[in-house]
Every structure is written in C-alpha cells, then in structure tokens.
Amino acid sequence: MRLFIGVDLPVKLKQALLDFQSQLKLLGVNGSFKSQDNFHITLEFLGELDVRKISVLSEILSKVASNRGRFELEIAGLGAFPSFKRPHTLWTAVNGSLTKLNRLRDDLHQELKNKGFVLDERQFKPHITLASRPRLDNIDFSVVQSEKLGKFIVKDVVLFESRALQGKRVYEVLYRAGLGIAGSEN
C-alpha cells in the first residue's frame, strides 16, 4: 500500500481550489491538474508499506493528534517547485498558524522515526499541489499571485492510501485522528 499522512480540506475550500485551477487554465497553464478530491496538505509521505502497518500508524496519529489543539490555516498565492522557470509542480501556499502546523508535523515525524519508519529528511514546505508537470510559457501570474482562496480550521490528521484507479491517482482515507481541544498546546 502506498501511504501518506496529511491534512484533508473542507469541501468549500476544495471548490475554491478547483475554481483557482480554472483561472490558471484561462491564463494558459497546461499540465496534469489535480482532481478536487485529491487536494490536501501532505505532512509525511510514507511510501509503500505493508497493510499490517496501519494499526501502528493509527496509534501514532491518535497519540500525536491528542496532544495538539486545533488551529487555523489560510490558503493563498502561487508557487512552483523547483522554480517557475523549471516547474515540476505548481502549488498554492499554506499560511496562518504555521508554527502549530510545523509542531504537528515535527511530532508526527519524530514518533514515526521512533517506531522505525524510514522518512524523507527534506525541510517541510506546506503547500497544496494544483498541477504536476505544468507548462508555464510566457504566462503573467501577477493577477493570481496573491489570490486568497480561503481559511479553515485544522481539526484532524489523516492517514491516506494513494492508489491508481483507471490511470488516475485516488486518495482514500484509512484513518482520521481528531486534534485535541483548542488551546491545549503550550
């Protein structure tokens, strides 16, 4: 099973992201656009794991989530990995309570390492992927560069399975762990 841990988004925000993709297409952006159902913020990519790891992962998510309170994030702007000149991924930025998001991600990362999971050690850069392999030739992004797409409260962390279904990536929720009471953090 191909697994990752992330933050799911509310339906209203997913619709705003879909509308934003439409704006980008009108500007001339081409590429492999993500479906509305696949919008999320990845906290930790786990890769191919045996189904028997789900119970351990569920325990880790529950433990970490119970020690972290809810917080607000804002989705806005546009970026590209590694750059707009050589884009592999087009994304929108995550802002707001980034300190709390980073603490949540760091806690997950440490607990996973403690349980023997092999993880990517690159710096965490929260974002929401809009398109893969985009073609951005001579496009003026100034009209959408600072577009604010919405705010939402992070209420839980999710263990997702990523599967190929009829040539498309589908993300299925395997486990959801609710964050503790707001304000419970130090």
Residues marked active site are found at 40, 127
Residue type, 129: T
Name the nearest CA neighbour of 9 among 109, 158, 138, 177.
Answer: 158
- Alpha-carbon gap, residue 105 to 4, rounded angstroms: 12
CA–CA gap between residue 13 and residue 20 (Å, rounded): 10
- DSSP H helical segments within the chain, as ranges? 11-27, 54-66, 98-114
- Reported residue count of the chain is 186
Considering only CA atoms, which of 144, 152, 27 is closest in space to residue 92?
144
Q: Are 97 and 38 a contacting pair, CB within 8 Å?
A: no
Q: What are phi and psi of 57, to 5 degrees?
A: -65, -40
